[in-house]
Amino acid sequence: GQNIDQPTEMTATEGAIVQINCTYQTSGFNGLFWYQQHAGEAPTFLSYNVLDGLEEKGRFSSFLSRSKGYSYLLLKELQMKDSASYLCAVCEGNYQLIWGAGTKLIIKP
């Protein structure tokens, strides 16, 4: 069946590095997305991976291993504004996204 797993909640310290993992089992694979969602706000697009490897965008990087059904989002030099939920989603076909329940990231001073 279809399944996306990510930790429910994580805590990290301002200025540190945190890695949020996502494992998936889907019937098809056409790429993996990471979104950020602040409380009461819209999810916003962070990254897209379809090939194995690391994609870097400033303080945020996303990694994909298709053979392992695994991705992670790496956040460096954490800032208080990074406190949010991080959603992992796999595109199964042409547009259908299968979503994880999200990881709530709490940043402490």
The answer to whether residue 69 forms part of the interface with another protein (CB under 8 A) is no
Nearer to another protein, 32 or 107 (CB): 32
- Work out whether strand 9-13 and strand 103-108 pair parallel, antiparallel, or are unpaired: parallel
The answer to whether residue 22 forms part of the interface with another protein (CB under 8 A) is no
Contact yes or no for 90/26 (Cβ under 8 A): yes
Among 21, 48, 61, 70, the residue binding another protein under the rule CB under 8 A is 48
The answer to whether residue 41 forms part of the interface with another protein (CB under 8 A) is yes
The answer to whether residue 96 forms part of the interface with another protein (CB under 8 A) is yes
The answer to whether residue 93 forms part of the interface with another protein (CB under 8 A) is yes
20: exposed, middle or buried (Cβ count in 10 Å: 0-12, 13-18, 19+) = buried
The answer to whether residue 27 forms part of the interface with another protein (CB under 8 A) is no
The answer to whether residue 83 forms part of the interface with another protein (CB under 8 A) is no
Contact yes or no for 53/63 (Cβ under 8 A): yes
Q: CA separation (Å) from 2 to 20, 29, 37, 97?
A: 20, 11, 23, 11
- Binding stretches for another protein (CB under 8 A): 4, 8, 30-31, 33, 35, 40-45, 48, 50, 87, 89, 91, 93-102
